[in-house]
Structure 1
């Protein structure tokens, strides 16, 4: 049983973070924030996939000003991601950002940080202190060296020093992240940070890579941390459509029995008995499942012989054969159909079951 560490509770818009609240899955847009229409389209797709908090890059004043229009068209909280320019942080808050992500050490000094904190107070917006291995202050690197699994003190000290600077300004609605592109450094760093602070933690592996490498690295690091009760929000960082980040994120939570969203897909890896295009079949079923909310267990199996038996715990399943296939429920054959009719009939029955499960 996972014993989650109790952290300080904050709210990003109407979404609570920390304390005993559910671990939230978030992502970041990869559109040009100045293009509000494109950014909104992407966020709506992410909302449909289950994204609960979204972050947008703010590289200039035009992007900061676009936040107002974006906010008016979405339902999930929006975080503005700021680097170097304190004016962009203030402008983002003035235009509706519900939280900001900054590295206080690169904003240009105490006076500029104070202006950002004052704006956060006025707009009741939390601040995420975000430190990456590549953005640590030079004096800390000289003192501790570049972060490694054996020595991640530079990351820890950078984050906590910046948090202390914000606390001195009378502000404690804070979330912290200390990301590395190295899996073991990420795990070691967050373990130590969790021992030294009660602020909520946003966990993740930065610059993790594409779909395969990024999923593996993130799942290993975040899986370890979440199993140990560490982490209040997280992002699976992928060089991919950000919707994939959300899909991986919820599957990670499901695998640890922390949270479930939508049906669970069980599918076989195929073998020499497979006589149907199972890859395409599974992909289409998975696409449809992303739009569903119930907790059905759904199976896509490669052969009629073993399908119902191996997936007998599934609420509903489909198994292919040579030019034919079956739909089964709880291991019992429900329908036998020609291959061309199999997928449409299966999806129709699946949608019925999903609707009934939500009544």
Structure 2
């Protein structure tokens, strides 16, 4: 457990602020070709809709860097350029509206190239995220530790950040990511005691929707619970919209973010007389239309424990034999056939939405 966590410095990224005790923000990354402006903007808009706070786009070529100007004009959240190797792409991205750039200073090349990049960052006041992961450690660091370790990740990140700070630029964010959950946790616990630079937290290459969510939930949960982390990404192999949904659930479960509907549902058992699995899936889909509401919705399969377990929820469905109950703040408000339960829930959600003016 960390003995002392330093308060991180405040960094402005476009129209958002991180560090210094500000709320933890959710990031994701587009998987479109960045130079395809129409497709990239469409994906960012969808990510905005579900709650993405900051979006990163790959910049593998100059066409992608130049596309930033048009993309930036069409979206509402900060736009980050993901740069590897070519410092000229970072410069072009900043000149075309990038709100932050992500680099590994070690693969930019010479000190002269890094300084040229930093000079432009200073001019536009664009923060730099120093990104280090288990697959990008410098040869000398690997030789020192013999393999990838938490200590190696931290040393690499701090060394690379120092390269930039020695050039009198302190507008920085650090990320140290590993696909090894425990290694990642230990690295964050260590670096949190050594720097006040804001930290972007994630379990890299965490996997598919199931394995990635489990690894990210465990890793991010432990890290964030200790007060470490200023922005997060749940890295999943799939639609980036799922990354945002998962990140919101993690933050909500830890009490770090309000808003968004939360489902609590019981496991199936022999007492279940309705299609509980199908109903839960439909409720989950329905709640995407009410993401602005800060509510808990219970989906329960039988009348034995259902009404009691749904009492703590704002709304609940409790199944029976070919029928069920709509429960509101612990009180039964409707008895409906199974086929009408979803519509009954929607009616109650609409009432809440209208009441809150949303």
TM-score range, shorter chain: over 0.9
Distance apart, 1:358 and its partner CA: 4.8
User: Which residue of structure 1 aligns with residue 331 of structure 2?
Assistant: 332
- In the alignment, is residue 265 of structure 1 matched against residue 263 of structure 2? yes
Counterparts of 1:65 and 1:278, CA distance in 2: 50
Aligned partner of residue 196 in structure 1, secondary structure: coil
User: Which residue of structure 2 aligns with residue 351 of structure 1?
Assistant: 350
Counterparts of 2:164 and 2:6, CA distance in 1: 23
Counterparts of 2:301 and 2:84, CA distance in 1: 50
Counterparts of 1:348 and 1:159, CA distance in 2: 52
User: Which residue of structure 1 aligns with residue 19 of structure 2?
Assistant: 18
Aligned partner of residue 281 in structure 1, secondary structure: helix
Counterparts of 1:41 and 1:275, CA distance in 2: 42
Counterparts of 1:21 and 1:258, CA distance in 2: 11
- In the alignment, is residue 180 of structure 1 matched against residue 185 of structure 2? no
Superposition RMSD in Å: 1.7
- In the alignment, is residue 293 of structure 1 matched against residue 292 of structure 2? yes
Aligned partner of residue 102 in structure 2, secondary structure: strand
TM-score by length of structure 2 reads 0.95
Q: Residues 83, 203 of structure 1: CA spacing in aligned structure 2 closer, same or farther, 3 A cutoff?
A: same
Distance apart, 1:305 and its partner CA: 4.1
Distance apart, 1:354 and its partner CA: 2.9
Question: Counterparts of 1:162-201 in structure 2 under 5 Å?
Answer: 162-201=160-199
- In the alignment, is residue 322 of structure 1 matched against residue 321 of structure 2? yes
Distance apart, 1:75 and its partner CA: 0.6
Q: Tell me the number of residue pairs that the alignment of Structure 1 and Structure 2 aligns.
A: 355
Counterparts of 1:354 and 1:265, CA distance in 2: 17
- From 247, 250, 270, the equivalent of 1:249 is 247
Question: Counterparts of 1:99-178 in structure 2 under 5 Å?
Answer: 99-148=100-149, 152-178=150-176
The range that moved more, 91-100 or 137-146, is 137-146
- From 222, 225, 230, the equivalent of 1:224 is 222
Deviations 1:24-48 (A, max 9, x none): 1111111111111111111111111
User: Which residue of structure 1 aligns with residue 93 of structure 2?
Assistant: 92
Counterparts of 2:353 and 2:301, CA distance in 1: 23
Distance apart, 1:311 and its partner CA: 1.1
Distance apart, 1:302 and its partner CA: 1.1
Structure 2 runs not aligned, ≥5 long: none
Distance apart, 1:4 and its partner CA: 7.0
Q: Contact conserved, 1:205 with 1:236, CA < 8 A, in 2? A: yes
Q: Residues 5, 318 of structure 1: CA spacing in aligned structure 2 closer, same or farther, 3 A cutoff?
A: farther
Structure 1 runs not aligned, ≥5 long: none
The range that moved more, 28-37 or 258-267, is 258-267
Distance apart, 1:261 and its partner CA: 2.2
Q: Contact conserved, 1:5 with 1:229, CA < 8 A, in 2? A: no
TM-score by length of structure 1 reads 0.95
Distance apart, 1:287 and its partner CA: 2.4
Aligned partner of residue 325 in structure 1, secondary structure: strand
Distance apart, 1:351 and its partner CA: 2.2
Distance apart, 1:250 and its partner CA: 1.2
Q: Contact conserved, 1:179 with 1:186, CA < 8 A, in 2? A: yes
User: Which residue of structure 1 aligns with residue 305 of structure 2?
Assistant: 306
Distance apart, 1:329 and its partner CA: 1.0
